[in-house]
Amino acid sequence: MDFKLGEKEEALRKEIRKFAQKELPPGSFTLLLEEESRDEDWKLAMSTSKKLAQKGWLVMAWPKEYGGSAVSYWEQMVYGEECGYWGIPGISMGISGVAWVGPSLMQFGNEEQRKKYLPLIASGEPDGVWCTGYSEPNAGSDFANIQTRAIRDGDEYVINGQKVWTSCAHRARWCWLAVRTDPNAPKKHRGISIFIVDMKSPGITVNPLLNYYGAHIFNEVFFDNVRVPVSNLVGEENKGWYHLMQSLASERHSFGPSLYGNARRLLEELINYTKETQHDGKPLCQNPEVRHMLADAAVEAEMLKLFNYQVTWELTQGITPIYGSSRNKAFGDQLLERLGIIGMKLMGAYSQVDPYSKWTKLHGIIQRLYLLFPGISIAAGTDEIEKNVIGQFKLGLPKSY
Ligand SMILES: Cc1cc2nc3c(=O)[nH]c(=O)nc-3n(C[C@H](O)[C@H](O)[C@H](O)COP(=O)(O)OP(=O)(O)OC[C@H]3O[C@@H](n4cnc5c(N)ncnc54)[C@H](O)[C@@H]3O)c2cc1C
């Protein structure tokens, strides 16, 4: 079977390669979410977003009327793969702008909201950067349990409560916020609504939550009588849950190709490392155990690529890939975690060196991967939740409790 892509897709792949080689500093390789922490990385991400926007790539999947190029699903897949391979920063406009705020506004926002916010995201400018406020101290996987409250007061809603783990809140201009608008709804998921909130609104406090290696990716965000115009309600009041289920499908699907791109690059870097590194006077790559670890990872990377092809094909057929998106996200997370572990084993003591030290190997990619990926397998739905989806939608099991 020949899975070769068409000329258009291969031409795009080459163009992205040229772009990455020209525009990124030598050794630069950004993993998901990393760009949000250090100021120098964020600066690079923002300047790259702008260049991607000028190339017409940033929102290439969007319809032309909203500033996109309406490219095929196959081109979108290649874009994701190549951005992952080159570790191109700034591809998402914060945690969510390109992948799910934009598509959600197209699906259930109103015309006024589309006209105002879509061009901002498509511009690649800092005013188009978003964070997503779903999780709370008592609501994560059990998202329907959210307590942050919005109460209507004339032409405004008044919001009070707390969000947590909000990636990019310290960089974002806007928050895509889920709140409770009806605390008496007969079922918890029926009283939720979505709002667009200006992060400069009075009453918002953003506190950094440094992760266990000191990176500032997520935050806790407090809302203290924050007033939001009624026009910022997205979709119907109390229908937020149903709207968000559509957004989550966009979110999960968007991960697969870039995870594969990351995996392909990391594998190449590790293979080269084993060719160039000697152990007992012999290259590491001659050690059978090393070869087997790399061979296992290569087979799994190839599987992820084919999984992505399958999901992309389903999209071309108008099928919503619920099972496939969850499978690809969970499988991709786990593959990247395994590559991090393999890298740590191969590097020995070098794996303990600070990723930004001059003594680090492979520009610190392996340490950063090892530290970041347990978090990626939690973000946007934990692997356990993805497996619940697989159980329900692929295996025909009843819903989990
Ligand atoms: C790097 C990172 C970035 C994030 N960014 C954001 C963001 O920008 N915005 C935002 O709103 N949130 C964000 N989050 C939060 C993330 O969405 C939640 O952490 C996630 O949904 C899990 O919720 P929880 O942490 O409350 O864990 P819980 O839901 O309490 O889960 C704890 C454990 O129990 C398991 N579990 C829970 N329910 C079930 C079940 N039904 N079946 C089987 N196992 C179950 C989970 O898999 C997990 O292992 C981010 C998290 C991380 C790590």
CA 381 to centroid of ligand 1, rounded, Å? 6
- What pLDDT does residue 96 have? 85
Tell me the sheet residues that pair with 179. Answer: 193
Residue 390 above 70 pLDDT?
yes
Kindly report the protein residue whose alpha carbon is nearest to atom 35 of ligand 1: 384
Query: What DSSP element (H or E) covers 239?
Result: none
Is 385's C-beta closer than 6 angstroms to any atom of ligand 1? yes
CA 135 to centroid of ligand 1, rounded, Å? 8
CA 145 to centroid of ligand 1, rounded, Å? 13
What's the whole-number mean pLDDT along residues 7-24?
A: 96
- What pLDDT does residue 252 have? 67
Confidence of residue 116 (pLDDT cuts 50, 70, 90): very high
Confidence of residue 320 (pLDDT cuts 50, 70, 90): confident
CA 41 to centroid of ligand 1, rounded, Å? 26
Asked if 165 and 135 touch (Cβ cutoff 8 Å), the reply is: yes
CA 389 to centroid of ligand 1, rounded, Å? 15
- List pLDDT tens digits, range 175-185: 999 999 999 99
Confidence of residue 297 (pLDDT cuts 50, 70, 90): very high
CA 179 to centroid of ligand 1, rounded, Å? 17
In ligand 1, the atom with minimum distance to the C-alpha of 178 is 11
CA 140 to centroid of ligand 1, rounded, Å? 5
Asked if 179 and 185 touch (Cβ cutoff 8 Å), the reply is: no
Residue 93 above 90 pLDDT?
no
Kindly report the protein residue whose alpha carbon is nearest to atom 25 of ligand 1: 140
> For a pocket test of ligand 1, which of 382, 383, 397 has the largest count of ligand atoms closer than 8 A to its C-beta?
382
In ligand 1, the atom with minimum distance to the C-alpha of 96 is 8
Is 392's C-beta closer than 6 angstroms to any atom of ligand 1? no
Buried b vs exposed e over 237-259: b needs ≥16 C-beta within 10 Å? bbbbbebbebbbbbbbbbbbbbb
- What pLDDT does residue 367 have? 94
Residue 296 above 70 pLDDT?
yes
Confidence of residue 292 (pLDDT cuts 50, 70, 90): very high
Q: Please give the distance of CA 158 from its chain centroid, rounded to a whole number.
A: 30
- What pLDDT does residue 161 have? 98
Kindly report the protein residue whose alpha carbon is nearest to atom 52 of ligand 1: 379
> For a pocket test of ligand 1, which of 206, 378, 386 has the largest count of ligand atoms closer than 8 A to its C-beta?
378
- Closest-CA residue to 92 (of 117, 129, 126, 147): 129
Confidence of residue 100 (pLDDT cuts 50, 70, 90): confident
Question: For residue 325, which amino acid is it?
Answer: S
- List pLDDT tens digits, range 324-367: 989 999 999 999 999 999 999 999 999 999 999 999 999 999 99
Global confidence as pTM = 0.94
Is 382's C-beta closer than 6 angstroms to any atom of ligand 1? yes
CA distance 250 to 259: 15
Residues ≥6 apart with Cβ < 8 Å to 104: 176, 194, 234, 243, 246, 247, 250
In ligand 1, the atom with minimum distance to the C-alpha of 383 is 47
CA 385 to centroid of ligand 1, rounded, Å? 9
Instruction: Please give the residue that has the higher pLDDT: either 134 or 318.
Output: 134
- What pLDDT does residue 319 have? 87
CA 141 to centroid of ligand 1, rounded, Å? 5
- List pLDDT tens digits, range 23-79: 999 989 999 899 999 999 999 999 999 999 999 999 998 898 898 998 999 999 999
- What pLDDT does residue 395 have? 94
How confident is the prediction for the chain on average, in pLDDT? 93
Query: What DSSP element (H or E) covers 225?
Result: strand 218-229
Residue 2 above 80 pLDDT?
no
Is 221's C-beta closer than 6 angstroms to any atom of ligand 1? no
CA 378 to centroid of ligand 1, rounded, Å? 5
- List pLDDT tens digits, range 139-179: 999 999 999 999 999 999 999 999 999 999 999 999 999 99
- List pLDDT tens digits, range 371-387: 998 888 998 889 999 99
- List, in order of start, the domains of the chain with CATH numbers: 7-91 (1.10.540.10), 130-239 (2.40.110.10), 255-393 (1.20.140.10)
- What pLDDT does residue 99 have? 86
Separation in Å, CA 29 to CA 84, 302, 394: 9, 21, 35
- List pLDDT tens digits, range 196-245: 999 999 999 999 999 998 999 999 999 999 999 999 999 999 999 998 88
Is 209's C-beta closer than 6 angstroms to any atom of ligand 1? no
Is 195's C-beta closer than 6 angstroms to any atom of ligand 1? no
Is 373's C-beta closer than 6 angstroms to any atom of ligand 1? no
Asked if 260 and 305 touch (Cβ cutoff 8 Å), the reply is: yes
Asked if 61 and 91 touch (Cβ cutoff 8 Å), the reply is: no
